Amino acid sequence: MNLVLLGPPGAGKGTQATKIAEKYNIPHISTGDIFRKNVKEGTPLGKKAQEYMSKGELVPDDLVIELVEDRLTEDDCKGGFLLDGFPRTVYQAEKFDVYLKEKNSAIDKVLDIDVEKDILIDRMIGRRVCKNCGATYHVKNMPPKKEGICDVCGGEIYQRADDTLETVSNRLQVYLEQTSPLIDYYEKAGNIAHINGAGALDKVFSEIVEVLGA
Topology given in CATH for the domain delimited by 2-26+79-116+173-212: Rossmann fold (3.40.50)
pLDDT at 28: 94
Q: Is 160 designated active site?
A: yes
Instruction: For residue 78, indicate whether it is catalytic.
Output: no
Sheet strand arrangement including 28-30: 28-30, 81-84, 2-6, 109-114, 192-196
pLDDT reading at 86 higher than 80:
yes
13 an active-site residue?
yes
The residue among 95, 86, 52, 42 whose CA lies nearest residue 68 is: 86
Per-residue pLDDT band for 53 (boundaries 50, 70, 90) equals confident
Question: Hey, what amino acid is at 192?
Answer: I
Q: Exactly one of 71, 95, 123, 127 is catalytic; which is it? A: 127
Return the H-helix or E-strand segment holding 192.
strand 192-196
The pair phi, psi for residue 204, each rounded to 5°, is: -60, -45
pTM, to two decimals = 0.84
Q: Cβ atoms within 10 A of the Cβ of 18, count?
A: 12
Specify the pLDDT at position 58.
78
pLDDT category of residue 177 using cuts at 50, 70 and 90: confident
Question: What pLDDT was estimated at residue 180?
Answer: 87
**Cα 61-65-70 angle, rounded to 5 deg:** 150
> Choosing from 23, 37, 131, 160, which is the catalytic residue?
160
Alpha-carbon gap, residue 139 to 127, rounded angstroms: 7
> Does pLDDT of 110 surpass 80?
yes
Q: How many whole angstroms separate alpha carbon 175 and alpha carbon 31? A: 16
Check: CB of residue 157 under 8 Å from CB of residue 131.
yes
Tens-digit pLDDT profile for residues 5-48: 999 988 888 889 999 999 999 999 988 889 889 999 999 999 99
Q: Is the pLDDT of residue 214 over 80?
A: no
Task: Give residues with Cβ within 8 angstroms of 182, minimum separation 6.
Answer: 6, 87, 88, 89, 90, 93
Annotated catalytic residue within 13, 71, 123, 128: 13
Distance, CA of 41 to CA of 88 (rounded, Å): 25
